[in-house]
Protein backbone atom coordinates (compact mmCIF):
# COMPACT_ATOMS: atom_id res chain seq x y z
CA UNK A 1 0.00 0.00 0.00
CA UNK A 2 1.04 3.62 0.44
CA UNK A 3 4.18 4.47 2.37
CA UNK A 4 4.45 7.21 4.95
CA UNK A 5 5.23 10.48 3.14
CA UNK A 6 8.74 11.88 3.25
CA UNK A 7 9.78 15.53 3.27
CA UNK A 8 8.76 18.01 2.15
CA UNK A 9 5.54 17.79 4.14
CA UNK A 10 2.48 18.62 2.04
CA UNK A 11 -0.14 21.00 3.31
CA UNK A 12 -3.79 19.99 3.51
CA UNK A 13 -5.31 23.41 2.95
CA UNK A 14 -8.36 23.58 0.68
CA UNK A 15 -9.21 26.69 -1.28
CA UNK A 16 -11.96 28.70 0.48
CA UNK A 17 -15.45 28.26 -0.87
CA UNK A 18 -15.59 31.96 -1.75
CA UNK A 19 -12.79 31.35 -4.25
CA UNK A 20 -14.14 28.04 -5.55
CA UNK A 21 -17.93 28.31 -5.85
CA UNK A 22 -19.57 24.91 -6.28
CA UNK A 23 -22.92 26.36 -7.40
CA UNK A 24 -24.17 29.59 -8.92
CA UNK A 25 -27.66 31.12 -9.21
CA UNK A 26 -29.32 31.29 -12.63
CA UNK A 27 -32.70 32.69 -13.60
CA UNK A 28 -35.15 30.16 -15.04
CA UNK A 29 -38.72 29.89 -16.27
CA UNK A 30 -40.65 26.80 -15.24
CA UNK A 31 -43.69 25.79 -17.33
CA UNK A 32 -46.13 23.29 -15.82
CA UNK A 33 -49.74 22.20 -15.47
CA UNK A 34 -51.40 21.65 -12.13
CA UNK A 35 -52.07 17.97 -11.52
CA UNK A 36 -55.80 18.40 -11.20
CA UNK A 37 -56.19 19.95 -14.67
CA UNK A 38 -53.42 18.06 -16.49
CA UNK A 39 -55.86 15.94 -18.52
CA UNK A 40 -57.61 19.11 -19.69
CA UNK A 41 -54.37 20.81 -20.65
CA UNK A 42 -55.59 21.45 -24.21
CA UNK A 43 -58.06 23.91 -22.69
CA UNK A 44 -55.62 25.52 -20.27
CA UNK A 45 -52.44 27.50 -20.49
CA UNK A 46 -49.46 26.14 -18.56
CA UNK A 47 -48.36 28.02 -15.48
CA UNK A 48 -45.15 30.00 -15.81
CA UNK A 49 -42.95 30.51 -12.78
CA UNK A 50 -39.81 32.65 -12.93
CA UNK A 51 -37.28 32.04 -10.21
CA UNK A 52 -33.53 31.70 -9.56
CA UNK A 53 -32.10 28.21 -9.16
CA UNK A 54 -28.65 26.96 -8.18
CA UNK A 55 -26.66 25.09 -10.83
CA UNK A 56 -23.52 23.07 -10.20
CA UNK A 57 -20.25 24.57 -11.41
CA UNK A 58 -18.37 22.40 -13.91
CA UNK A 59 -14.76 23.55 -14.19
CA UNK A 60 -11.88 22.67 -16.46
CA UNK A 61 -9.03 21.35 -14.30
CA UNK A 62 -5.66 21.15 -16.04
CA UNK A 63 -3.23 18.65 -14.54
CA UNK A 64 0.39 19.78 -15.03
CA UNK A 65 3.05 17.31 -13.91
CA UNK A 66 6.65 18.49 -13.65
CA UNK A 67 5.87 21.18 -16.21
CA UNK A 68 4.17 18.73 -18.60
CA UNK A 69 0.52 19.48 -19.47
CA UNK A 70 -0.83 15.98 -18.90
CA UNK A 71 -4.64 16.10 -18.91
CA UNK A 72 -7.72 18.30 -18.53
CA UNK A 73 -10.57 17.05 -16.35
CA UNK A 74 -14.07 18.50 -16.17
CA UNK A 75 -14.83 18.51 -12.45
CA UNK A 76 -16.32 20.34 -9.50
CA UNK A 77 -13.70 22.87 -8.30
CA UNK A 78 -13.29 21.57 -4.76
CA UNK A 79 -10.66 19.36 -3.12
CA UNK A 80 -8.64 19.53 -6.32
CA UNK A 81 -5.47 18.30 -4.64
CA UNK A 82 -7.28 15.11 -3.64
CA UNK A 83 -8.65 14.81 -7.18
CA UNK A 84 -5.17 15.15 -8.67
CA UNK A 85 -3.62 12.59 -6.31
CA UNK A 86 -6.41 10.09 -6.90
CA UNK A 87 -6.25 10.65 -10.65
CA UNK A 88 -2.48 10.06 -10.73
CA UNK A 89 -2.89 6.85 -8.74
CA UNK A 90 -5.75 5.63 -10.94
CA UNK A 91 -3.63 6.38 -14.02
CA UNK A 92 -0.77 4.30 -12.60
CA UNK A 93 1.58 7.31 -12.47
CA UNK A 94 2.19 7.12 -8.71
CA UNK A 95 2.20 4.17 -6.36
CA UNK A 96 3.45 5.70 -3.11
CA UNK A 97 2.62 9.00 -1.49
CA UNK A 98 6.26 10.07 -1.17
CA UNK A 99 6.49 10.14 -4.98
CA UNK A 100 4.39 13.31 -4.90
CA UNK A 101 6.68 16.07 -3.62
CA UNK A 102 4.52 19.20 -3.86
CA UNK A 103 1.45 20.74 -5.50
CA UNK A 104 -0.16 24.11 -6.13
CA UNK A 105 -3.69 24.97 -7.26
CA UNK A 106 -4.22 28.14 -9.34
CA UNK A 107 -7.54 29.63 -10.45
CA UNK A 108 -7.16 31.23 -13.90
CA UNK A 109 -9.33 34.33 -13.84
CA UNK A 110 -8.03 36.64 -16.59
CA UNK A 111 -6.10 36.67 -19.86
CA UNK A 112 -2.76 37.20 -18.13
CA UNK A 113 -3.22 34.14 -15.91
CA UNK A 114 -4.17 32.03 -18.94
CA UNK A 115 -1.11 33.20 -20.84
CA UNK A 116 1.18 32.20 -17.99
CA UNK A 117 0.15 28.58 -18.54
CA UNK A 118 0.21 28.67 -22.37
CA UNK A 119 3.21 27.02 -24.07
CA UNK A 120 5.38 29.71 -25.63
CA UNK A 121 5.18 28.60 -29.27
CA UNK A 122 3.99 30.80 -32.11
CA UNK A 123 1.15 28.51 -33.11
CA UNK A 124 -0.10 28.18 -29.54
CA UNK A 125 0.09 31.94 -29.04
CA UNK A 126 -2.02 32.56 -32.15
CA UNK A 127 -4.49 29.92 -31.06
CA UNK A 128 -4.68 31.37 -27.58
CA UNK A 129 -5.30 34.88 -28.92
CA UNK A 130 -8.28 33.62 -30.93
CA UNK A 131 -9.66 31.69 -27.98
CA UNK A 132 -8.94 34.16 -25.17
CA UNK A 133 -12.47 35.49 -24.77
CA UNK A 134 -13.92 32.02 -25.27
CA UNK A 135 -11.76 30.62 -22.45
CA UNK A 136 -13.05 33.26 -20.05
CA UNK A 137 -16.49 31.65 -20.33
CA UNK A 138 -15.17 28.71 -18.32
CA UNK A 139 -14.09 28.19 -14.73
CA UNK A 140 -10.52 27.03 -15.17
CA UNK A 141 -8.02 25.74 -12.63
CA UNK A 142 -4.48 24.45 -12.94
CA UNK A 143 -3.11 21.86 -10.54
CA UNK A 144 0.69 21.84 -10.76
CA UNK A 145 2.27 18.70 -9.33
CA UNK A 146 5.90 17.90 -8.64
CA UNK A 147 6.73 14.19 -8.80
CA UNK A 148 10.04 12.49 -8.22
CA UNK A 149 12.38 11.54 -11.07
CA UNK A 150 11.14 7.95 -11.41
CA UNK A 151 7.56 9.13 -11.90
CA UNK A 152 8.75 11.79 -14.35
CA UNK A 153 10.37 9.09 -16.50
CA UNK A 154 7.15 7.06 -16.32
CA UNK A 155 5.15 10.03 -17.61
CA UNK A 156 7.58 10.69 -20.46
CA UNK A 157 7.39 7.03 -21.52
CA UNK A 158 3.61 7.19 -21.57
CA UNK A 159 3.65 10.40 -23.62
CA UNK A 160 5.91 8.70 -26.19
CA UNK A 161 3.42 5.83 -26.44
CA UNK A 162 0.60 8.27 -27.13
CA UNK A 163 2.54 10.51 -29.53
CA UNK A 164 1.48 8.65 -32.67
CA UNK A 165 -2.21 8.59 -31.81
CA UNK A 166 -4.51 10.49 -34.18
CA UNK A 167 -8.21 10.74 -34.81
CA UNK A 168 -10.72 9.59 -32.25
CA UNK A 169 -9.91 8.90 -28.61
CA UNK A 170 -8.18 5.63 -27.92
CA UNK A 171 -6.95 3.76 -30.99
CA UNK A 172 -4.98 0.57 -31.40
CA UNK A 173 -3.50 -1.73 -28.80
CA UNK A 174 -2.02 1.15 -26.77
CA UNK A 175 -5.46 2.65 -26.29
CA UNK A 176 -6.96 -0.72 -25.43
CA UNK A 177 -4.21 -1.37 -22.89
CA UNK A 178 -4.98 1.94 -21.18
CA UNK A 179 -8.74 1.49 -21.19
CA UNK A 180 -8.58 -2.19 -20.19
CA UNK A 181 -5.49 -2.49 -17.95
CA UNK A 182 -4.14 -5.72 -16.54
CA UNK A 183 -5.02 -5.59 -12.84
CA UNK A 184 -3.55 -8.92 -11.75
CA UNK A 185 -1.04 -7.10 -9.55
CA UNK A 186 -3.94 -5.76 -7.49
CA UNK A 187 -6.03 -8.92 -7.33
CA UNK A 188 -7.75 -9.65 -4.00
CA UNK A 189 -8.87 -13.16 -4.90
CA UNK A 190 -7.29 -14.57 -1.76
CA UNK A 191 -9.27 -12.16 0.44
CA UNK A 192 -12.40 -13.61 2.03
CA UNK A 193 -14.83 -10.90 0.98
CA UNK A 194 -17.77 -12.95 2.25
CA UNK A 195 -16.67 -12.55 5.87
CA UNK A 196 -16.20 -8.80 5.38
CA UNK A 197 -19.47 -8.23 3.52
CA UNK A 198 -21.05 -4.96 4.75
CA UNK A 199 -24.41 -5.56 6.40
CA UNK A 200 -27.65 -4.03 5.17
CA UNK A 201 -27.98 -1.97 8.36
CA UNK A 202 -24.44 -0.61 7.93
CA UNK A 203 -25.12 0.41 4.33
CA UNK A 204 -28.49 1.96 5.12
CA UNK A 205 -26.85 4.03 7.85
CA UNK A 206 -24.31 5.33 5.32
CA UNK A 207 -27.06 6.09 2.82
CA UNK A 208 -29.00 8.08 5.42
CA UNK A 209 -25.93 10.12 6.30
CA UNK A 210 -25.17 10.74 2.63
CA UNK A 211 -28.69 12.05 2.11
CA UNK A 212 -28.22 14.61 4.89
CA UNK A 213 -24.59 15.50 4.07
CA UNK A 214 -24.58 15.85 0.29
CA UNK A 215 -25.16 19.59 0.35
CA UNK A 216 -24.17 20.47 -3.22
CA UNK A 217 -26.47 17.80 -4.62
CA UNK A 218 -29.32 19.04 -2.41
CA UNK A 219 -28.73 22.51 -3.83
CA UNK A 220 -28.31 21.58 -7.50
CA UNK A 221 -29.40 17.97 -8.07
CA UNK A 222 -26.42 17.56 -10.41
CA UNK A 223 -23.48 16.01 -8.56
CA UNK A 224 -22.41 12.53 -7.53
CA UNK A 225 -20.73 11.51 -4.30
CA UNK A 226 -18.30 8.91 -3.02
CA UNK A 227 -18.44 8.28 0.73
CA UNK A 228 -16.87 6.08 3.37
CA UNK A 229 -17.33 5.64 7.10
CA UNK A 230 -14.39 5.99 9.50
CA UNK A 231 -14.95 5.58 13.25
CA UNK A 232 -18.66 6.44 12.92
CA UNK A 233 -17.82 9.57 10.89
CA UNK A 234 -18.83 9.97 7.25
CA UNK A 235 -16.27 11.29 4.77
CA UNK A 236 -17.99 12.45 1.59
CA UNK A 237 -16.58 13.77 -1.69
CA UNK A 238 -18.84 15.39 -4.29
CA UNK A 239 -18.24 16.04 -7.97
CA UNK A 240 -20.14 16.48 -11.22
CA UNK A 241 -18.30 13.35 -12.42
CA UNK A 242 -18.74 10.10 -10.50
CA UNK A 243 -15.20 8.97 -11.39
CA UNK A 244 -13.87 12.32 -10.11
CA UNK A 245 -15.73 11.83 -6.82
CA UNK A 246 -14.06 8.45 -6.36
CA UNK A 247 -10.65 9.88 -7.31
CA UNK A 248 -11.11 12.55 -4.63
CA UNK A 249 -11.83 9.88 -2.04
CA UNK A 250 -8.80 7.87 -3.20
CA UNK A 251 -6.62 10.99 -3.01
CA UNK A 252 -7.86 11.66 0.53
CA UNK A 253 -7.17 8.02 1.47
CA UNK A 254 -3.61 8.15 0.14
CA UNK A 255 -2.92 11.56 1.65
CA UNK A 256 -4.04 10.53 5.14
CA UNK A 257 -3.01 6.84 5.06
CA UNK A 258 -6.53 5.62 5.82
CA UNK A 259 -7.64 2.02 5.45
CA UNK A 260 -10.98 2.02 3.67
CA UNK A 261 -13.17 -1.09 3.74
CA UNK A 262 -16.23 0.14 1.86
CA UNK A 263 -17.10 3.02 -0.47
CA UNK A 264 -20.66 3.98 -1.33
CA UNK A 265 -21.31 5.77 -4.63
CA UNK A 266 -24.51 7.65 -5.39
CA UNK A 267 -24.24 6.59 -9.03
CA UNK A 268 -24.33 3.46 -11.15
CA UNK A 269 -21.18 1.33 -11.01
CA UNK A 270 -19.27 1.53 -14.29
CA UNK A 271 -16.12 -0.35 -15.24
CA UNK A 272 -13.97 2.75 -14.56
CA UNK A 273 -15.11 2.85 -10.94
CA UNK A 274 -14.40 -0.86 -10.55
CA UNK A 275 -10.91 -0.48 -12.04
CA UNK A 276 -10.08 2.38 -9.68
CA UNK A 277 -11.37 0.38 -6.69
CA UNK A 278 -9.30 -2.67 -7.63
CA UNK A 279 -6.17 -0.54 -7.98
CA UNK A 280 -6.60 0.84 -4.46
CA UNK A 281 -7.44 -2.70 -3.20
CA UNK A 282 -10.82 -1.62 -1.91
CA UNK A 283 -12.73 -4.60 -0.42
CA UNK A 284 -16.26 -3.34 -1.22
CA UNK A 285 -17.79 -0.86 -3.67
CA UNK A 286 -21.51 -0.12 -3.34
CA UNK A 287 -23.71 1.95 -5.65
CA UNK A 288 -27.18 3.40 -5.37
CA UNK A 289 -27.90 2.31 -8.95
CA UNK A 290 -27.01 -0.81 -10.91
CA UNK A 291 -23.58 -2.02 -11.98
CA UNK A 292 -22.86 -2.94 -15.57
CA UNK A 293 -22.27 -6.54 -16.58
CA UNK A 294 -18.63 -5.77 -17.34
CA UNK A 295 -18.17 -4.16 -13.93
CA UNK A 296 -19.49 -7.28 -12.19
CA UNK A 297 -17.37 -9.63 -14.30
CA UNK A 298 -14.16 -7.69 -13.60
CA UNK A 299 -15.02 -7.33 -9.90
CA UNK A 300 -15.49 -11.09 -9.62
CA UNK A 301 -12.24 -11.76 -11.46
CA UNK A 302 -10.13 -9.59 -9.16
CA UNK A 303 -11.92 -10.15 -5.85
CA UNK A 304 -13.77 -6.85 -5.42
CA UNK A 305 -17.05 -7.05 -3.52
CA UNK A 306 -19.76 -5.26 -5.48
CA UNK A 307 -23.28 -4.23 -4.48
CA UNK A 308 -25.90 -1.97 -6.05
CA UNK A 309 -29.43 -0.62 -5.83
CA UNK A 310 -28.81 0.65 -2.29
CA UNK A 311 -32.22 2.10 -1.46
CA UNK A 312 -34.08 3.01 1.73
CA UNK A 313 -34.73 -0.61 2.66
CA UNK A 314 -32.62 -2.90 0.48
CA UNK A 315 -29.37 -3.63 -1.33
CA UNK A 316 -28.35 -6.19 -3.97
CA UNK A 317 -24.97 -7.97 -3.76
CA UNK A 318 -23.38 -9.01 -7.06
CA UNK A 319 -19.94 -10.35 -6.12
CA UNK A 320 -18.21 -11.46 -2.94
CA UNK A 321 -21.24 -13.60 -2.12
CA UNK A 322 -22.11 -17.25 -1.58
CA UNK A 323 -25.29 -18.47 -3.25
CA UNK A 324 -27.87 -20.05 -0.92
Residues 6+ apart with CB under 8 A from 239: 75, 76, 78, 83, 223, 224, 225, 245, 248
What are the φ/ψ torsions at residue 305 (nearest 5 degrees)?
-75, 130
Mapped onto helix, strand or coil, the DSSP state of residue 164 is: coil
Contact 148, 130 (CB under 8 A): no
Q: Residue 171 catalytic?
A: no
Cα gap 138→108, rounded to integer Å: 9
Q: Tell me which DSSP letter residue 109 carries.
A: -
**Alpha-helical regions (H) of 257-292:** 271-279
Kind and range of the H or E run holding 296: helix 293-302
Q: Which of 151, 168, 171, 262 is catalytic?
A: 168
Residues marked active site are found at: 168
Amino acid sequence: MIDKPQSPVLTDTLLPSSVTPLARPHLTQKYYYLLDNYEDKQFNQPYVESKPVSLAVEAAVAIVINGIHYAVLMASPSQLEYLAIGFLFSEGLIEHSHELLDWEVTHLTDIASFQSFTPASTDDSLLFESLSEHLLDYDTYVVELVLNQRCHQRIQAQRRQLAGRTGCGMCGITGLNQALPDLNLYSQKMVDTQSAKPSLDYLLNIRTQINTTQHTHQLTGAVHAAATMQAEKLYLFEDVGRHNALDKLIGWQLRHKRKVECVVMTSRLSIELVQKSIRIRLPWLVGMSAPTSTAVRVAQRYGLGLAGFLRDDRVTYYSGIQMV
